[in-house]
Chain A
Amino acid sequence: MRDRIISVLSAYGRLPNPVETLGRDDDLYRAGLTSHASVNVMLGLEDEFDIEFPDAMLRKSTFESIASIESALQRLCDRSQLPA
């Protein structure tokens, strides 16, 4: 999952430095993620993982690090495997 997140961040995050150089808990906003680029990352993640972030997850803290994105996706993927 982490590699797929990194590839989405590389494609849409418009960060000045390679995403690979960032630690799992590094602050993505301080690394240069703008609010505009963060929406593109959300769209990229939704496509990559075939999910939709609910409004409750659409806040700054959800996308502030690779770890926080991973935990959000984990929750969504777990949820989508529940019987309807």
Chain B
Amino acid sequence: MSVETAVPSTVDVVDREPATRTSPKQLAAHIATTVAAPAAEAVDVESRFPTEAMDAIREAGMLGALIPVEDGGLGWPLEDVALAVTELAKGCSSAAMVYAMHQIQVACLVRHGNNDTLRDFTRQVAAQGLLLASATTEVGIGGNVRNSSCAVETCGDRFSLTKQAPVISYGQRADAILATARRTPSSPPNDQVLALCRKGNFTLEPTSRWDALGFRGTCSLGFLLSVSGHASDVLPVAYGDISSQTMLPVSHILWSSLWLGIATAAADKARRFVQAAARKNPDATPPNALRLAELTNALQQFQDLVSAARDRYTSISHDPSQTTSIAFAITMNSLKVSASTLVVDVVQRALLICGMAGYANHSPFTLGRLLRDAYGAQLMVNNDRINANNAQLLLVARGES
């Protein structure tokens, strides 16, 4: 009818979509199946860092995925990173978690690292494939990451900071750590900044071991973090703004995408189990096919929850007046609670479908690791804390959006 609907020439199509081009999702799926999944059991058993997967991710340039192309990154939108996290999680939850946590820090740097020093560092992250970790929790603050007890001390153009961190996931593997602290030693606990601690500037003294039920490859030990660096390594924006505009929504979106990957991996096992039974006796629908239908309802709910939250954030991520609103905070909190609950629900349904084959540790349908990993979701930022936060926010929210 119109010019717009005219069929483009073959040349145009080829130019726009070369046959050899791999989508971010395909790239991540390839790494997940060829590198992350084969090592996942060893990572879990030995509670060790997923070195193979993280090396492959670095080689593919994916550590700089969120960094704009002009700064040497891949320039992926958050949605592509989220899809990549889901794919990686199907192969190895720990590798996917390391990747997701790194990207959360990168997202903060890209949006809020607005000085020359930090922009240079962001380019280094892309060029050298640096791995970023995070130190937001602190001993003695009761788990509330919007409070700090430690403080940045500035002397001339240098800053120093000492922090008792109960957890710094993969801290010993990190090329840099972003740590929260009070702005000055006289600042109230909630007046926080985010400080970039570069390798060479910081020391880590382990204060605990990491031998946990799940996510065993994240190596989430506690440390005493001591850092001394250039004052321009302290991000120029208040941490409260970084948190509400970027860190919190990106965390919940990437984590829920990761849990969706765990749920999908479990659902795949359940589906293959039911289909194998069906092929043995095509005349009768296997009894657990009904459970698979029910599992699929929950999984679809999960998929749509995650993709809607992603769209919601993408549409307003550049508008601080919306990302700092109570209504938006409630939706992101709610996403985290729902997704972290759904992942256990789906994996548990898969276990009922696969039965003893799922319960056994060395069967093709084994679900032990996925179930153990799934239970971590409700604890990393405890759902009780998030629900309590929403309970309070709802005292003033009007439900208009």
Contact = CB atoms under 8 A, between A and B. Distances in A.
State yes or no: do A and B come from one complex.
Answer: yes
A69 interface: no
Given A55-B325, A58-B327, A59-B324, A16 B188 contact: yes
Contacts of B244: 60
A72 B392 CA distance: 21
Contacts of B241: 60
Interface stretch (A18-26, A34-42, A73-81): A34-42
Contact of B325 (A15, A29, A34, A59): A59
A53 B238 contact: no
B324 A32 contact: no
B397 interface: yes
A7 to B, nearest CB: 19
A37 B326 CA distance: 13
A80 B112 CA distance: 39
B146 A43 contact: no
A46 B395 CA distance: 11
A35 B398 CA distance: 17
Nearest to B245: A60
Nearest to B329: A35
A9 B322 CA distance: 24
B396 A46 contact: yes
A43 B400 contact: no
B321 A59 contact: yes
Contacts of A16: 188
A30 B147 CA distance: 12
Interface string B305-340: 000000000000000011011110000000000000
B187 interface: yes
Contacts of B147: 34
A60 B188 contact: no
Interface string B378-401: 000000000001001101111111
Contacts of A15: 188
Contact of A39 (B190, B238, B321, B395): B395
A83 to B, nearest CB: 23
Contacts of B187: 30
Nearest to A52: B398
A55 B321 CA distance: 12
B392 A55 contact: no
A67 interface: no
Nearest to A37: B190
Contact of B396 (A29, A43, A56, A61): A43
A39 B396 contact: yes
B384 to A, nearest CB: 15
Interface string B181-213: 001000111110000000000000000000000
A6 interface: no
Contacts of B188: 15-16, 30-32
A15 B325 CA distance: 22
B75 interface: no
B240 interface: yes
Nearest to A29: B240
Given A55-B325, A59-B324, A32 B191 contact: yes
A28 B382 CA distance: 28
Contact of A60 (B146, B191, B240, B397): B240
Contact of B400 (A29, A42, A54): A54
B313 to A, nearest CB: 16
Given A16-B188, A31-B188, A39-B392, A58 B146 contact: no
Interface of B: 146-147, 183, 187-191, 238, 240-241, 244, 321-322, 324-327, 389, 392-393, 395-401
27 contacts: A29-B191, A29-B238, A30-B187, A32-B190, A32-B191, A34-B146, A34-B190, A35-B146, A35-B190, A36-B389, A39-B326, A39-B395, A39-B396, A43-B396, A54-B400, A55-B327, A55-B397, A56-B400, A58-B325, A58-B326, A58-B397, A58-B398, A59-B322, A60-B240, A60-B324, A60-B325, A61-B324
Given A29-B238, A59-B321, A59-B325, 6 more contacts: A29-B191, A36-B389, A52-B398, A54-B400, A58-B397, A60-B240
Interface of A: 15-16, 29-36, 39, 42-43, 46, 52-56, 58-61
Top 9 A-B pairs, shortest CB-CB distance: A32-B188, A60-B324, A55-B400, A58-B326, A59-B325, A55-B398, A34-B190, A42-B396, A30-B191
